[in-house]
Every structure is written in C-alpha cells, then in structure tokens.
Amino acid sequence: MTFFITPFHYTDCFSVRQIGYGGTIAYRSAITDQARELYAWIRKLKIEAERLDKYMDLLSKDEVMVLRMYHFEGCTWKDIAKKCHMSVRTMMRIREAAYHALEECYLNAQAFGILAIE
C-alpha cells in the first residue's frame, strides 16, 4: 500500500477559507459602524450638556448652586441645606423653582422646533 502525502495548506481548512482575510474586513466594518454610532451618541450628549449649561445660566445663583450640588456633586438634600445655611423646606422650594424654570426652557425650545423631545 502506498500513501500519498499531499502538502496541507492552512487555506484548505473550510473555516479558515470562510473567515480568512475577508473576515477581518467584516470585523473592521463592524467596529467602524460601532465607532460611528458611539461618536453620534457622544455628540448628542455634548449638545444636550451645552444646552443644559445655557439654560442653567438663566437660573438664579441659589437655584444653580442647589441643582449642581445635588445632581453633579452628589450631595444629599440635607447636606445642601446645611451647606447653604437654609432650611430643607426653603431649599426644596428653590429646587422646585429651578425645575420649573428648566422645564419652561425645554418646552419653549420644543415649541420653536429647536428641540425634539424623545
């Protein structure tokens, strides 16, 4: 009996031929699509952050301080009242006024077609 040994090449394997070099192109394409998606999402968040900053500029000093301390610095409502030397109830009134003013800003932006609420 004679056995013929033929040279084996890595492309003889079906999975290598199927994935092969073309697989890297599909992989890069998928990564590029994901990167574009993330970039668009980050860009949208930056626009929203800039809009919020502009609207915060329209608030009073106390309103800005209360909202920044709670939402951006992570202080509790009790801590904010203590640091600002005001009662919790007074601080809550300031918070409500700030929320109402921001809501008006966003509603006006939506009414003028500047902002699409999702």
Q: What is the pLDDT of residues 53-77, one digit of tens each?
A: 999 999 999 999 999 999 989 999 8
Q: Which residues have C-beta within 8 Å of that of residue 98, sequence separation ≥ 6?
A: 59, 60, 63, 64, 66, 67
Could you report the per-residue pLDDT of 17-28, keeping only the tens digit for each?
Answer: 445 455 566 666
Length of the chain as a residue count = 118
State the pLDDT at residue 75: 93
Q: Which residues have C-beta within 8 Å of that of residue 112, sequence separation ≥ 6?
A: none
